[in-house]
Amino acid sequence: MTTYMRRKVLNNAGYVLAVVCVILAIIPLGAMIYYVLKEGGSDLTLNFFTQTPAPVGESGGGMSSQIVGTIILIIVASIIGLPVGIMSGIYLAQAIGTNRFASTVRFCTDVIAGTPSIVAGVVAYAAIVIPFGGFGAIPGGVALALLMFPTVTRATEAAIDLVPEAMREAGLALGLPEWVTMARIILPAARSGIVTAVMLGVARVAGETAPLYLTAFGNDVMTVSLKLSLIHI
Amino acid sequence: MHRCPPMEEASLTSRERVVPGVRLAPSRSDAAVLEKLVTSSTTPAEVRRPPHAVAASSNLGDRIYSALTTGFAGLVVAVLALLFVILVVQSRVSITRFGFSFLTSSTWDPSRNIFGAFPAIAGTIYTSLLALLLAAPIGLIVAIFLTELAPRWMRSTLGFFVELLAAIPSIVYGLWALFVLVPLVQQHVEPFFIGHFGNTALFSGYPIGLGFFTASIILAIMVLPTISAISRDVMKAVPGTQREAMLALGGTTWETTWKAVIPYARSGIIGAILLALGRAVGETMAVQMVIGSTTGAFNISLFSTGTTLPAQIVNQFTEATGSIYPAALIELALILMIITVILNALARLLIWRMNRRSA
């Protein structure tokens, strides 16, 4: 085989290998979706969304308390995590490039972003459950907020960076103070990016289980109070 | 003037992955910066705004705004410091009791209050390395396919599906692994290997399906989108001139990728792999369901059950009573956090260096 033919065969073999790898990567996705739909699809009745779980051993019942619990936890986590995330994102976006403090904040955000979810749960447990006693939505919300806010910070900073500098300078040229240009010009321009940032943050924590194992585990009864234990889906 | 190829639309997810924090020195002229901002919709991390001051203003609103944003940013730093302080303080009892032998001892006996983390640490490292061994080649080749080989119309859809893997909650992975993967491995894979290689240390054991092998597979599936997505980003950042030069010299597509693009993106790809390692180390729910969660000594066989740091914590935390038991578990969390921080810092350093080089 000439060198030319060998290189050509190698090229085509590489292409085939790449296609095989992509199929290998997509197969688990398809298998998982298929399995979840097949096993669980038949149970998605109206009961599922409106009834609380039946006692052990009986059939029927639903998951409404768990769904409500999930929503409550996401709301609590957002209340704690979103202001921190968005404000830090704004700070990082408008900080001078050589600012040492901004670099430190960015580094810390990245470190917290890499925290394993179980460690966030342990920290929330140690910080809130041990001193104050109760499990429930508040320590669970704190753990989720810890996981949520770095994502929101980074995405908010990216969204604000996308706004052209000319808009900010136009606002300043008109005599507006910095905070008015940020609030009235730049943030509305970055609005869709910030909404995406919030959605990314919520998506990050909506599926978390491990931190809630330690902080918010509880009962199946429908509870809306923040103090009582909730169970997460 | 050299005409730039059309830039791709900025997507927040890809921006989010590129490490922010690389800023050009403010010596670039403002005009050049503005032109780049206005003409491209992608502002890579290298393009920066000219410096300006916010806090030194006589306007009250400005001072409040500056204080507010700086305060929240400072809160971030405080939270990180507090995180480590809480972990150390709460595990103090265990640290003083066991000292360094906590890391090397294999005894985990809650009834006698003797704890040792070695099986958990070894299990964590073992499963994560195995997962990377599986996921890194496949993830890298998927990334190559998505940036170089696939037809343009296919790239974004396929990329979307690969990244969808990252969006699935880990508990769903765990349940699927438990109900589908474990029986599959137990009935088809393990009997074959145990039958033929059962007397070697690596393949000994009984076919139960649970164990390091299954855990590594599910971990590999979970970290593959991370490797693929970041590698895609760093490969896209390789300047087109590299590829064009290789093609002009008569290289095939495959050769271009391996000889022109990959060496250029090498540190970024290694950073991606390290980042994926950091994710694999911290993964809890999926691993906990398929690893068997035994607290005995670490066995190197692929098919033996074991435990990892996160699985150990989550399994026993709710039953931990007394003062040493929870402290030992919190010390496990501290070890896990330190490992993750080191891996992430290394990874970001490498990716940052890669971005810097391509600027």
pLDDT in tens, A126-167: 888 888 777 777 888 899 999 999 999 999 999 999 999 999
Q: Which of these, B183, B192, B175, lies nearest to B210 by C-alpha position? A: B183
Report the pLDDT value the prediction gives residue A155, as an integer from 0 to 100: 93
Max CA distance (Å), chain A = 77
Report the pLDDT value the prediction gives residue B54, as an integer from 0 to 100: 52
The residues, any chain, with a CB within 8 Å of residue A200's CB and separated by 6 or more, are: A151, A152, A155, B12, B13, B16
Average pLDDT value over all residues in chain B: 81
Give the count of beta carbons closer than 10 Å to the beta carbon of residue A149. Answer: 33
Contact yes or no for A32 and B41 at CB 8 A? no
Among A144-148, B313-317, B334-338, name the one with the lowest average pLDDT. B313-317
Contact yes or no for A25 and B228 at CB 8 A? yes
User: Per-residue pLDDT averaged across A52-61, rounded?
Assistant: 64
Report the pLDDT value the prediction gives residue B215, as an integer from 0 to 100: 93
Which 83-142 residues of chain B touch chain A by CB within 8 A?
83, 86-87, 89-90, 137-139, 141-142
Query: Best interface-test mutation with B: which of A178, A194, A199, A200 has the largest number of B CBs within 10 A?
Result: A178
Give the count of beta carbons closer than 10 Å to the beta carbon of residue B323. Answer: 12
Report the pLDDT value the prediction gives residue A99, as an integer from 0 to 100: 82
Whether residue B49 has pLDDT greater than 90: no
Q: Which residue has the tokens 């398929």?
A: B290
User: Per-residue pLDDT averaged across B276-293, rounded?
Assistant: 89
Contact A168, A107 (CB under 8 A): no
ipTM above 0.95, yes or no: no
Average pLDDT value over all residues in chain A: 83
No. of helices (H) and no. of strands (E), chain B: 18, 0
Report the pLDDT value the prediction gives residue A16, as an integer from 0 to 100: 94
Report the pLDDT value the prediction gives residue B280, as an integer from 0 to 100: 92
Which residues in B lie closer than 8 A to residue A158 (C-beta atoms)? Answer: 12, 15-16, 20
Chain A CB within 8 Å of residue B278 CB: yes
Contact B219, B286 (CB under 8 A): yes
The residues, any chain, with a CB within 8 Å of residue B263's CB and separated by 6 or more, are: none
Contact A214, B333 (CB under 8 A): no
Give the count of beta carbons closer than 10 Å to the beta carbon of residue A27. Answer: 11
CA distance B199 to chain A (A): 31
Q: In whole angstroms, what is the distance from residue A130 CA to residue A215 CA?
A: 10
How many Cα neighbours within 13 Å face the side chain of B329? Answer: 26
Report the pLDDT value the prediction gives residue A2, as an integer from 0 to 100: 85
CA–CA distance from A136 to each of A55, A120, A149, A224 (Å)?
22, 15, 20, 11
DSSP A164-217: -HHHHHHHHHTT--HHHIIIIIIHHHTHHHHHHHHHHHHHHHHT--HHHHHHT-
Backbone angles phi, psi at B292, to 5 degrees: 95, -30
Contact B270, B350 (CB under 8 A): yes
Contact yes or no for A15 and B345 at CB 8 A? no
**Helix %, strand %, coil % of chain B (to 5):** 70, 0, 30
Among A113-127, B13-27, B175-189, B303-317, name the one with the lowest average pLDDT. B13-27
Chain A CB within 8 Å of residue B329 CB: yes
Q: Which of these, B330, B278, B29, B251, lies nearest to B132 by C-alpha position? A: B278
**Helix %, strand %, coil % of chain A (to 5):** 75, 0, 25
Among A42-46, B58-62, B250-254, name the one with the lowest average pLDDT. A42-46
Tens of pLDDT along B169-185?
888 898 899 999 999 98
Instruction: Please calculate the CA angle A161-A163-A164 and round it to the nearest 5 degrees.
Output: 105
Report the pLDDT value the prediction gives residue B163, as an integer from 0 to 100: 82
